[in-house]
Structure 1
Amino acid sequence: MQEQQVRAIFLSDIHLGTRGCQAERLLEFLRHYDSAYLYLVGDIIDFWSMSRSIHWTSVQNTVVQKVLRRARKGTRVILVPGNHDEALREYVGITFGDIRLEHEWVHETADGRRFLLLHGDEYDQVTRHHRWVAVLGDVAYNTLVRLNGWLSWIRRRLGISGYWSLAGYAKRKVKTAVNFIFDFEDSVMHGARERGVDGVICGHIHWAAIREVDGLTYINCGDWVDSCTAIVEHLDGRLELVEWRSAPASQPIPLPSANDAPDRVALPS
């Protein structure tokens, strides 16, 4: 598989240490794309879930080793911790194994635009003020992931190809959470506007998107549990949202229209 050179890669919500982590697909993605910059935008290692049970595979080890190897070979790797790996926030400003930890970061694209990088949980009122609700949602989500494992086994036995996510299906159908997404996006963009940047790149809600909001650009990396999405910056500064299906194929995600809004929902974070 021929490696594609891009300027920057933005990943969030990998959730290493959990059953839901799609480490195999992430490893395929990293083998396909190389970059000068690699940004890890929060919830890379899921310490929340690992406090209850740990599911760490050899492929997850390989993902970590590949990131460390890239950092050693000159890729600038910056990790912005999220709420699931918030323990790392105690070490912001420090470099570990050539990976720098920062609370937030400003990335300038090749065409001169400035983007604020942050995980986004600081704009989630549930996570900030009702942590027990967030933890309960995380437990419920992990239960769906476990059920999804059984469903995947049944689908394989029946000869049904492709990956289907029970949690992803649920999030598209629970319409009452749409307001949460809009409130989150509005809050994040308000913060970006106050900072005087051209846009924001975040994660947290597991809902990938690129769209213009009142002259600024809102970008969400998505996740590597259900959607397996990432943001790449091409050499000319163009930003693309990539949904990784299987090596070597990748394609942009069609951006949702306003008519799709009632079916959009955030996963518990």
Structure 2
Amino acid sequence: MTAMNTKPHYRTVWISDVHLGTRGCQAELLVDFLNEVTADTYYLVGDIIDGWRLKKSWYWPESHHAVITNIMEKAKNGTKVIFVPGNHDEFAREFVDMTFGHVDVRMNDIHTTADGKRLLVIHGDEFDGVVKYARWLAYLGDTAYNMAIMLNRYFNAARRKLGYGYWSLSAYLKNRVKNAVQFICNFETAVAHAAAKRKVDGVVCGHIHHAEKRMIGNVLYCNDGDWVESCTALVEHKNGELELLHWADMRNMAMTYIGASDTNSSPTTAGLGRLLSLFRTAQPHNKPKTTLARQNAASARTGQNTPMGKTA
């Protein structure tokens, strides 16, 4: 029972591309993550609030308000919170180098890990030629993307009725489109190159909704993903080790492992962070084969070479 009451604590947590104000935002899962994981420092790496979408139509349910309230409470209680605005919440760039509600707003930042690595923290839209040079095309792409997210929402509603966990149809389609895959590769290379010019050891960014952690040349490239498709975060352990957490996949595996029967429970009422603690403290050789199969399948879907929740 001890594991059930232990919340994971990290030195640093990076999240981005939450897109509060859109129907595709997985706010309930993010609230669960924020409730069940603690950290010394949180980085909000852009596109936390989708100002583009809110200008077109107002959508702000209680779960979206809960995300903001949770983050502000952490900052008020002494947790360091740094907000690096993205292109969808670019309105906040007018307040760079200011502090609001104990949250520091910065255009970018240099984070030093516990083992001495210097990481450039940026949103990344400045490396997206479409956003930088053809703003009208970016808005067109945003409309198409939101249509894919809408399909994803209906698809997962059907999966829940059938007793299945969350799975991103939109991410699957994106990762199968050749041009999208090439764009991701070009983006990652450009960001890593810029980090090398800044003479840092690595870079943490968001923007493209594709969680990744790998070496590009001599630069450690980290993308913390998003909370629309993959529900991912990058975390730093107390020894400086960096890890990608795929919260939705880990939630599904944790509930499967303990034999949870009520798959329709909301993330908050299920106490998924505590289920996760139990799952991750279990001995690997005691895992059922079905769980390992699901874990490997999840790894294959997201392009990771290691199981979800393990260091990439």
TM-score, normalised via structure 1 length: 0.91
Which of these residues, 38, 43, 50, is aligned with residue 46 of structure 1?
50
Letter in 2 for 1:180: F
Cα offset for 1:81?
0.3
Within 5 A, what are the aligned runs for 1:44-193? Answer: 44-157=48-161, 159-193=162-196
Q: Distance in 1 between matches of 2:304 and 2:23?
A: 32
Does structure 1 retain, via aligned residues, the 8 Å contact 2:44–2:81? yes
SS in 1 for 2:33: helix
Q: Tell me which residue corresponds to 2:225.
A: 222
Task: Tell me: higher relative CO, structure 1 or 2? Use CA pairs within 8 A at least 6 residues apart.
Answer: 1
Query: Distance in 1 between the 2:304 and 2:34 partners?
Result: 29
Q: 1:34 to 1:257 in 2, by over 3 A?
A: closer
Q: How many pairs are equivalent? A: 257
Worse-matched range after superposition: 6-15 or 27-36 = 27-36
2:175 partner SS: helix
- CA deviation after TM superposition for structure 1 residue 190, in Å: 1.2
Distance in 2, matches of 1:154 and 1:215, equals 44
Note the C-alpha offset of 1:91: 0.6
Equivalent in the alignment of 1:261? none
Secondary structure of 2:190's aligned partner? helix
Amino acid at match of 2:142: D
**Equivalent in the alignment of 1:265:** none
Runs of 4+ in 1 over 4 A off after TM superposition: 250-255
The structure in which a higher percent of residues are helix is: 2
Opposite residue 52 of structure 1, the aligned amino acid is K
Deviation at 1:257, TM superposition (A): 6.8
Which deviations, in whole Å up to 9, do the C-alpha atoms of 1:215-259 show, x marking residues without a partner? 21000000000100000000111000000022132879858379x
Structure 1 residues not aligned, in runs of 5+: 259-269
Residue 2 (1) aligns with residue 6 (2):
yes
CA distance in 2, matches of 1:257, 1:118: 23
Which one has the bigger strand percentage? Answer: 1
Amino acid at match of 1:133: L
Structure 1 stretch displaced more, 160-169 or 96-105: 160-169
- Is 1:22 matched up with 2:26? yes
Instruction: Measure the CA separation in 1 of the matches of 2:80 and 2:124.
Output: 22
Which one has the largest radius of gyration?
2
For 2:304 and 2:100, locate their aligned partners in 1 and report how far apart those are by CA, in whole Å: 41
What TM-score do you get using the length of structure 2 for normalisation? Answer: 0.78
**Distance in 1, Cα, partners of 2:181 & 2:192:** 17
**1:77 match: secondary structure:** strand
- How many angstroms apart in 2 are the aligned matches of 1:151 and 1:53? 23
Q: Report the 3-state secondary structure (helix = DSSP H, G, I; strand = E; otherwise coil) of the residue aligned with 1:241.
A: strand
2-structure distance, mates of 1:242, 1:164: 15
RMSD: 1.8
Q: Identity over the aligned pairs, expressed in percent?
A: 47
Residue among 214, 232, 235 paired with 1:232: 235
Encode CA deviations 1:73-111: one digit per residue, 9 max, x unaligned.
111100000000011101100100000100000000001
Q: Supply the distance in 1 between the matched residues of 2:224 and 2:153 (Cα, whole angstroms).
A: 24
Question: What is the CA–CA distance in structure 1 between the aligned matches of 2:168 and 2:189, rounded to whole Å?
Answer: 28
Work out whether 1:256 is the aligned partner of 2:259: no
How far apart are the structure 2 equivalents of 1:215 and 1:65?
A: 39
Cα offsets for 1:22-62 (capped at 9, x unmatched): 01111111112111100000000000111112221111111
Taking the aligned partners of 2:28 and 2:157, their CA distance within structure 1 comes to 17
Q: Aligned match of 2:246 in 232, 243, 249?
A: 243
TM alignment of 1:199-214, pairs within 5 A: 199-214=202-217
